[in-house]
Amino acid sequence: MDAWFHCENPYPFVPQEVLHATDSVRASLPNQYCDPKVAARLFEETLDEYLLCDELGLNITSSEHHSGINCLYGASPLILGIVARQTHKIRLLSMGTLVTIRQDPLRAAEEYATADVISRGRLEIGFVKSGGTEMASGNANPIGVRERFWEAIDLIGKTLTHHNGPFSWEGKHFTHRHVNIWPRPWQEPHPPMWAATSDPDDTAELGRRGMVNIMVMRGVDVTKRAWAAYRQARTEAGLAKPATDRFGYSAFVYVGDTDEEGVRVGSKLLWFVNTSMKSAPQYAKLLPGQTSVQFAPQVYRDPSAYSGIGRPGRDSALNRPGVTAEQAMGGGRMYAGTPTPSSSRS
């Protein structure tokens, strides 16, 4: 099993009264509340943590989100380009590129090829469909998001593996008459690819492609369902049984000298759920295209209904404000305590 260090580089310094008054801390919160001097210090702090990870041999991940307090990384390839030059041993995972709101997947492929060369082959590429607030901030249409997701991955994959001169791409969502990036990636045929999704249809497709499937804030039960779909798809396609390195699980982790300390300090990590995930209805349950017509009324009335219609975990009560440490630990979202009990609970 490999361990990865992940930091969203959030901005937790917006006044509490502002956070209470706003309907969404993502997409629409004015950036007047983001002090560039404070942001610079946060970037410096997290980049220094990555250097420490390199010394310790702990792989790192970098995410990408937009227009919110939850994450200051608006361009994952930019962050990994910096880290690629400053580190020497560890693997670098972008988790991930929001290809559904990028108008030009070719540019993402070019950025990642460059980062892979700078790191001399230590890059891994992750893909995420993106959330509702980012559909707004990215000026993207939420209709057809799944089609754009897979076509973008196909285009990026071909761009990274085609080395015999220009080719053209005439897809449903993306058109490129001339594709021929320089430099090509260091790794052959391309850096390993991941995707974050718990939708069984998508995890099945990941299984057929052999990509790594990572669960982010989904919990144990949802994870089991998703990975069962992954394995079944490979079996039905006549492919080999997937190794354990095809699966990733993301959760909050904190280890203290005592169980009490671990839970007390680890609870601070839940700020991410209890504060930074606050989102207005127009970015969530009222966002068009996210739910099929027959299920939309049910979801509009009860967001938790996602878990029963193939959209598991996304709007679980454990992913909404008000989560306690006990609830997070019971639901597999957080592991906290002393080293031996924490590892046994995982």
pLDDT at 312 over 70: no
Q: What is the arithmetic mean of pLDDT over 273-283? A: 85
Q: Which domains does the chain have, with CATH numbers?
A: 4-196 (3.20.20.30)
Q: What is the pLDDT of residues 32-56, one digit of tens each?
A: 999 999 999 999 999 999 999 999 9
Q: State pLDDT tens for residues 240-269.
A: 999 999 999 999 999 999 999 999 999 999
Looking at per-residue confidence, does 198 or 303 come out higher?
A: 198
Instruction: pLDDT band for 311, please (50, 70, 90 cuts).
Output: very low
The C-alpha torsion from 118 through 120 and 121 to 126, rounded to 10°, is -20
Range scoring the smallest mean pLDDT among 128-137, 298-307, 325-334: 298-307
Q: So what's the pLDDT on residue 131?
A: 79
Angle, CA 98 vertex, CA 295 and CA 216 arms, to 5°? 65
In this prediction, residue 30 carries a pLDDT of 95
Identify which has the larger pLDDT, 144 or 213.
213
Sequence-distant (6+) residues with CB within 8 A of 36 are none
Q: Which residue has the higher pLDDT, 285 or 172?
A: 172
